[in-house]
Each structure stands twice: as C-alpha cells, then as structure tokens.
Structure 1
Amino acid sequence: MSKPTYVLVPGAWHSPEIYKYVVDSLAKHGYPTISLALPSVGATPALYDFSEDVTAIRSCLAELVSQDKDVILVVHSYAGLPGGEATKDLGKKEREAQSLKGGIIRYVVINGFIVPAGFQPAPRGDFSTMPEWMKYDPEVSKYPCNSSLPHPVPAVN
C-alpha cells in the first residue's frame, strides 16, 4: 500500500519554504509532499477575494486524487479558509461512493480557521459583513503585538 501524499499550505504572508523541516522529516520516512504557494501571497495588486487560492489548492488536490492517491491536507492560519472550500467532493468516502479511488483522508488545521461550506471572507476593504467576533480594527492592527514600541492600547491583565 502506498503512503499518502501530504499537501502543505502555508498561511498568508508565508511561502512554502516555511514547511522545509516538515518536508525533510516526512521525506525521511518515505512520504511524498507538496508545499503549495498561494496566489494571494505577495500579489500586486492584491487579489479581490480568495477564489484564486481555492483554485490553486483544489487543482493540486484534484490532480492527486485523479491519480488514485490518498491525500493529507495540512493548512495553516488563513489557508484554512480556501483549504476547506477546495476540498468539496474530494474526500475519500465521497469518492468511494462514486466507485473512485483516492481522496482526502485527513484535513489538518494548524492555528487556523474552520468555517461553514460556502463561507466567503469579506471582500477587500469591506468588513461590514464579518461576524462581530471577527471585526477588524485597522488602528489597533497597525502595531506589532510583540514590540518594545509604545502601544496606545493598555495591556489586559
């Protein structure tokens, strides 16, 4: 039986190289890996939504499962949004129900988002549709969270 392929997707602001040590460790144990770059990372101008990221992840997954491979998808942070959307109908059980081999056998989310199917993050600059617990405050967000610089927001004890 062949080993599953790991597809590793970094979060926003990261390149696939962030997984170098993980890839090296998996390779030592004979696991094939793919570290995927997201089109939105470093895009100029910025992409309007996450659809290109969904397409990039889904294309990679679809190619692997069409080769009857089992896949473990690992996403970090923001990649949980497009990653979850990209998995539709590619699960091992869904494919077996259609008499197809291969599929996603595990979905690993590292410090990321798990959202309902069809979730669309706010379009660029429009935060009005975001849930209250996800409200973005550009004034507070412009300061590093781990910094010796003066910070206008008092610490919470």
Structure 2
Amino acid sequence: MAQPTLVLVHGSWHCPEHFELLIPALSHHGYKIATASLPSTQSMDLPPRDLFDDTAAVRDAVLTELSRGNDVVVVAHSYGGCVTNNALEGLNRRARTAAGHKSAVTAIVFLCAAPLPAGTTFLAALGGKPHPVHDFSKSKDFVEVGPPGPGYYFCNDLTPEASEKYSAMLRPQAWVVSGQTTKYTAYVDIPSWYLFTEKDQVLPPPAQRGIVQAAESQGVKLKTASLESSHSPFLSMPEETTDFIVQAAKESALLATTVSCP
C-alpha cells in the first residue's frame, strides 16, 4: 500500500517554513510532504483574509494530492487545527468512495491544536475574549505576539539562538478569523490523533485536554500522546513529533484495510 501524502498546516502567526526540521525527518520515513499556507497570516499592508480563505487554502492543498491519487494525512498545528477541522467535508474514505474516488483523507494529526465543533468560533474557545498573547498595539485588524514575546509563548524550550530565529519568522495574524463560525467537524468522520504538549505556555495542557474532551463528548475517540514540549514540538522535539505522526499514519492505513466502505 502506497504511503499517504502528509499535508502540513501551520498555526496563527506561523508559516510553512517553521516545519523546516519536521519535513526532512518525515521525508526520511519515505513520506511525500505538502504544505498549506494560511492567507490570514499575512502583511498588515493587505486587506485581512479570513477563516474561509484559510479553509479554502487547506482544502485546495488536500484536493491537489487527492487528485493525484494519493491518500492524505493532514497534520495541523494550533489554529491550523481549527481550519483543518472545517476544511475536509466530503473527503473521508466513505464519502470519496461513494463519489467514485480511490483516494481520501485517512487521518488528521492535531499538534497542540484547537479543532472546534461546527458552529463554534475560535474566540469562544478562548473564553470569549483575547488571550494575553494577542497584541493589538499596531492595528485593530491584526494581532502580533504580545509580551513577554514569542520566545515565551512558542519557544520556551529552544536555545536562545533558535528562539530568536523562529520568532523572527512570525507574521501578523488577521483577527477576523477569531470571530467566524466553523461549519464542519472533520474529526467526526475522519480518524484523528492529538499530541499534548506539556510545557505549552500559549495553549496550556488543561485547555488542550478540554478540547479533546469536547470532541469525545460528541462520541469521537481521539488517540492521544504527550510530549514534554513547548507549543512548537516540531522545533524542539522534531524526531519525537515525527514518530507520533508516522505512527498515526501507519495506524490509519491499517484502519483503511479493516473498515469496509460502500
């Protein structure tokens, strides 16, 4: 059985280049890698893009691989999990087979992410108000990373040099995405995995577990694991993060061979 393509989806402020350590580690296991770049992570000089632009970007990246006959596992970080969970309607194995296609999304891997049930806003998941990480000092339409800065929130287990490098790669984030309502819940239809990050200072472990519990209250079972990592496990623990993703991809391939589709 051919290995699926792994489509990587970054979170708020981030960009695909933040996966520069993860991509070669995954490629070493023989996986083809594609990335989705979220339009709402952007320059303040441009009109703000929104959740639905981000949703379309993820869906387009996935459909490109599906159209090539490749199954897909989507790996989503942070806010990217919200987008991914909204973007994959009709792309699960059952729906794709019914439509006459041989390829499908076989799994989602959430990395300290915020996948939300349909009908939810990202702001509501934050408790209805901005998080201290959200800095509006330069614009009412865009947020940057507030004090004490991205080194504290995202890179607290990296060396000072690495923290400085990856912090400098961050971009402004359009705020409009936070108040827009999701329309679909992919983890109901697609087997999903969740990686907890125990040293996370922007989405603390209790919040991550609350997200998983909310999914399980809908009858969904997410397989979970935990790393002693910051909010950037793909930077501080790329090999361990790779192991988790590869294991999820392998398990989802086994599921595909045992679940019959009409």
Shorter-chain TM-score: what band?
0.7 to 0.9
Quickly say closer, same or farther: Cα 1:97–1:16, change in 2 above 3 A: same
Gaps of 5+ in 2: 136-145, 154-262
**Alpha carbons of 1:135 and 1:34: their partners in 2 closer, same or farther (altered >3 Å)?**
same
Larger Rg: 1
Scaled by the length of structure 1, what TM-score is found?
Answer: 0.76
TM-score normalized by the length of structure 2: 0.48
Q: Residues 18 and 55 of structure 1: is their aligned pair in 2 closer, same or farther, counting only changes over 3 Å? A: same
1:46 & 1:121 partners in 2: Cα distance?
20
Matched, 1:63 2:67: no
Distance 2:36 2:125 in 1: 29
Percent sequence identity is 30
| Aligned pairs for 1:111-126 within 5 A | 111-121=112-122
**Deviation by residue 1:112-134 (Cα, 9 ceiling, x = unmatched):** 11211354445xxxxxxx36734
What SS does the aligned partner of 2:89 have? coil
**Contact kept? 1:49, 1:121, Cα under 8 Å:** no
Mapping 1:54-93, distance limit 5 Å: 54-93=55-94
How big is each residue's C-alpha offset from its partner over 1:48-96, in whole Å with a ceiling of 9 and x where there is no partner? 5311111111111112112221100000001111111111111122212
Q: CA 1:19/1:120 → structure 2, altered by over 3 Å: closer, same or farther?
A: same
State the superposition RMSD in angstroms.
2.6
Q: Which moved more, 1:111-120 or 1:21-30?
A: 111-120
Number of equivalenced pairs: 140
Q: 1:117 to 1:67 in 2, by over 3 A?
A: farther
Structure 2: how far apart are the matches of 1:46 and 1:143? 25
Amino acid at match of 1:108: V
Distance 1:22 1:144 in 2: 26
How far apart in 1 are the matches of 2:121 and 2:134? 24
Say if 2:7 is the partner of 1:7: yes
Describe the shift of the 1:107–1:14 C-alpha distance in structure 2 as closer, same or farther (beyond 3 A). same
